[in-house]
């Protein structure tokens, strides 16, 4: 039997892994579930990704690309005449007003690094790139790291608690952190 030419198969497998995590969580990720979602033979998933960690790395890299593109657009739009705390409040507000299921998925993949050592460097790369992007814009890498950590924590807290976003609370909290 001749092999079917399928140049997009690897990408479909990654997309399917992301969809599986979105529907079932990290615990629901398996080669079998991904193969079914991608409509490929089980052997294709293990051919392209020998382990689930390899598949998680690819999925997180893709999700990081989405996240970093959004973050870079926010950084480019920072108004130097507006206090940084207000701009960060805008970032959190816009992120939470967008597709929350996508943000939750991105965090689920990101937090998989807690249990999957192979994924940790990918999560760390994303954080470092965020700090670098913001640091270049505001001229202070230490402040950039604090802002990234603050925004990350706020987004997670809002996703976990479902509490309404309060711009003034976020702005005032970050203004206090930044001094």
**Is it true that 1-50 and 54-178 share their CATH fold?**
no
Check residue 51 and report its DSSP letter.
Answer: S
| Low-confidence winner among 29-38, 125-134, 150-159 (lowest mean pLDDT) | 150-159
Q: Which tokens belong to 37?
A: 């979602």
pTM (predicted TM-score): 0.88
Alpha carbon distance 149, 155 (integer Å):
10
Q: Which CATH architecture has domain 54-178?
A: Orthogonal Bundle (1.10)
The domain locations on the chain are 1-50, 54-178
Residue with tokens 């599986």: 20
Please write the tens of the pLDDT for every residue from 92-132: 999 999 888 888 988 998 889 899 999 999 999 999 999 99
Residue 114, burial from CB neighbour count under 10 angstroms (0-12, 13-18, 19+)? exposed
Q: Which tokens belong to 174?
A: 């970050």
Cβ-contact 178, 85 below 8 angstroms: yes
Nearest residue to 33 via CA among 51, 21, 48: 21
CATH class of residue range 1-50: mainly alpha
């Amino acid at each position: 039997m001749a092999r079917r030419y399928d140049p997009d198969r690897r990408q479909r497998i990654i997309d399917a892994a992301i969809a599986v995590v979105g529907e079932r969580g990290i615990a629901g990720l398996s080669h079998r579930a991904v193969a079914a979602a991608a409509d490929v033979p089980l052997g294709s998933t293990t051919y392209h990704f020998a382990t689930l960690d390899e598949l998680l790395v690819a999925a997180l890299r893709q999700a990081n690309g989405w996240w970093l593109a959004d973050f870079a657009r926010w950084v480019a739009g920072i108004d130097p005449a507006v206090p940084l705390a207000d701009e960060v409040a805008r970032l959190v507000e816009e992120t939470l007003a967008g597709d929350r299921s996508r943000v939750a998925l991105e965090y689920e993949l990101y937090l998989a690094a807690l249990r999957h050592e192979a994924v940790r460097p990918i999560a760390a790369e994303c954080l470092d790139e965020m700090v670098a992007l913001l640091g270049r814009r505001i001229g202070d890498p230490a402040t950039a790291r604090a802002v990234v950590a603050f925004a990350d924590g706020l987004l997670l807290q809002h996703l976990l608690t479902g509490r309404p976003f309060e711009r003034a609370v976020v702005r005032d909290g970050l203004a206090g952190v930044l001094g």
